[in-house]
Every structure is written in structure tokens, then in C-alpha cells.
Amino acid sequence: MTDPKDTPSMDPSDGAAVPSVVDLDATDRLLDAIARGGVRATDPGIELLSLAAGPVDDAEVVGAADFVAAVAGASPHRHLVPALGPQRTTTNVFRVVVAKSALLASLLAVGVAGAGAVTGVIAYTAHQNPAPDRLLRPEVTTTKIGQQAPEGDERDAGEARSAATSTAPTTAPTTAHDGAALPRSATERPTTEPLPATGPTNTGPTNTEPVGGADPQDDTTDRDLAGPGAAAMPTSSRVPAIDDEAAGTTPAAHTPPSPRPRPAAPVARARDTGIPWGVCAAGCSAQRATDPPTPAAASTSSRSSATSAPRTDASAPQPRGPRCGRDCSAAERPL
């Protein structure tokens, strides 16, 4: 029995009886046959249904191009999918990753090389062309005795030292940073100390020659001291600490020579060369012409250049130093 809710509304012309299942199945099969075009019309109703399911007229299929374009727009590259299988897709992705990695590595290599080249050029330029302000820095007026400065710094220091000695003695800039005295090693001697107005400035070109009669046999020590910087270095600042220690002197002996003509200790240790240590060519004691050779320095000819000091051969005649430029009066010649 058919469910009442499944029964369509009744029209008086449809009759009052509810169709049987056999009739419903027969109608269902008939309609399927009409839809497939396999029924010959036996009544007007079936003929009408057959006409409704008739063949397609050309006027009904206009506008196909619009739908085709819409489908193509909905999947613009879908026809390419079969050509790209999973394996080929993976291979392409791998190739893309490798290509990008190689590009990144090459860019990094170029960047590192460029940075290195720029750094090299800057360093070379700075080495060849020192900045002008470096010549005026107070640091270049100091030097560490016994240490081999770089070539450029040595030249700079020599130039600055020449400039300093050609003018009046400058004040102590190394102590002017914060008003307190900077710690200074025992081997460092400021050239801003009151220097006697003598030495390389007065001798002019003779500054390029080794001062103090360096031993040509002594290669390292003499070469170091015979360099441009050493030649331009005032003799007053070339007192090595090693000789002081060997001679038993104290660091106080390196203090600037006092204008007072009574250096008791140096004079007392003067060698028997006939020329007292600390006496200039004019005979006054304001200028040390040469450093007093020590027994250790005399016996050892291959000392380290970093700690060795200019020495003089005890057997060789002791040359006198340049004139101190002062008026060596009789009062200043106690010796």
C-alpha cells in the first residue's frame, strides 16, 4: 500500500483510484523507453512525449563557445597535467632547488671575494699613503726602544721626530689626555722631553748616518739602528734598557740629562778610552755622545735586535758625539 504522503494531490480527471504497483512499474518502464527513443507511438500522449524527447535542433546549441571558454578559463593548464607525472615534477623541483642553491653560493663567493679585495686595497692604500693627521698625533713622538716598529710607522715616527726636533720642544701630549700621567714602560722614552738643542737637527744630513759608530760586523743591531728611523732618532732617546741593566744603572739614569754638569755616576763609570761617557765633542756633559759599552755587549755580537742596544767596540777608538750646540763653558767642563 502506498504511503498517503507519497500520493500526489488528486485531480478529478485523474480518477479516484490509487494506481497499483503494476501500473506504476509499467508507466515507469514506458517513460524510460520513450526517453531512449525506443517506443513507437500508439496514442497521442506517447507521441507527444516522443516529440519532446526528439532530436537536437541546431538552434538549441548556440553558445557552445562561451561554455568552452569558461571551461578553459576554469582549468587553464589542466591539459598539461598528464605530461607532468609525479616523478618528473619531483625532478623539476629538485632541479629548481639545485639551481637556486648554486646561484646563492656563487653570489656569496663573489661577495666574499669583493670584500676581500676592497679590504686589501684599503689596507694597501693606508700603508702607502698614511693619513696626514697621523704625522701630528702625539703618539708618534714616542717610541719603544728595543722594538722594531713597522716600516711605515718608523718613517712616520722619524718624520715627526724631525719635525719635533726642528721646533721648540713640545709639551708632553701623552699626559694630556686625562690630566694624569700615563703609565710608561721602562723602555719607552718620550721625545717630548726637553731635548737639548743639539743632535740631528743641527747636523742636518748627517742624521742619516749611524750615530755612535755602530759596528758594521753587527748585522742585526746595527741594521736596526742604522735605519731611517734610527738615524733620525735623537741619540738621547736611544738608550737601551739592556745596557742599563748590564751596567747596573737604574732607570733614573735615562732621565733627560740634567744641565748640571755633575753626573757623578756616569762619569765614574767612564771607560778608559780617554773620552768620558756623556761628554760631547765640545767636552761638556750635556750630551751623551755614545752609550757606554758593557762587557756583555762587547763580548756578544749577536744580541737580539729587540733588546740589544747600540754598542761600541771597546777596542775601537771611541768617537766623539756631535756637538751639543751649547756653550760649553769652563764651568761645564769639570772633566
Partner 1 sequence: MGLHDPLDSTLDAARRGDERAAEQLYRAYQPMLLRYLRSQERRAAEDIAAEVWLAAAGALPDFDGDERGFRSWLFTVAKRRVIEHRRRGLRRRTDPVAPDTFTETTLDEDSAVRATDLVAAQRAVDLMAEHLSPDQAEVLILRVVADLSAAQVGELMQRPEAWVRITQHRALKRLTARTGADLGAVP
Please give the residue ranges that form the binding site for partner 1 (CB under 8 A).
2-3, 5-8, 11, 13-15, 18-19, 23-24, 27-28, 30-32, 34-37, 43-49, 51-57, 59-61, 63-68, 70-79, 81-82
CB of residue 109 to partner 1, shortest distance in Å: 45
Of 3 and 272, the one with the shorter C-beta distance to partner 1 is 3
- Residue 194 in contact with residue 322, Cβ under 8 Å? no
Residue 256's contacts (CB-CB under 8 Å, 6 or more residues apart) are 193, 194, 195, 236
Residue 318 near residue 274, CB atoms below 8 Å: yes
Alpha helices per DSSP H over 129-174: 133-136, 151-166
**Phi-psi sector, 199: left (phi>0), alpha (psi -120 to 50), beta:** left
Q: Rounded to the nearest whole angstrom, what is the least distance from the CB of residue 25 to partner 1 in the complex?
A: 8
- Judge whether 316 and 190 are in contact, CB under 8 Å: no
**Residue with Cβ nearer partner 1 (77 or 177):** 77
Minimum CB distance to partner 1, residue 99 (Å):
29
| Residues facing 143 on adjacent strands | 189
CA–CA dist 79, 30 (Å, integer): 42
Q: Is 179 left (phi over 0), alpha (psi -120 to 50) or beta?
A: left
CB of 17 to partner 1, least distance (A): 10
Q: Which is nearer to partner 1, 77 or 262 (CB)?
A: 77
Q: What's the closest the beta carbon of residue 2 comes to partner 1, in angstroms?
A: 6
In the complex with partner 1, the residue whose CB is nearer, 76 or 205, is 76
Nearest-approach distance from CB 60 to partner 1, in angstroms: 4
Q: Residue 315 is placed in which grid cell?
A: 777596542
**65 or 252: whose CB is closer to partner 1?**
65
How many C-beta atoms lie closer than 10 Å to residue 124's C-beta? Answer: 10
Alpha-helical segments (H) within 217-258:
219-226, 228-232, 241-247
Closer Cβ to partner 1, 13 or 167, answer by number: 13
Taking the complex as a whole, how short is the minimal distance between the CB of residue 92 and partner 1, in angstroms? 20
Q: By C-beta, is 49 or 314 nearer to partner 1?
A: 49
Q: Which residues contact 223 (CB under 8 A, 6 or more apart)?
A: 305
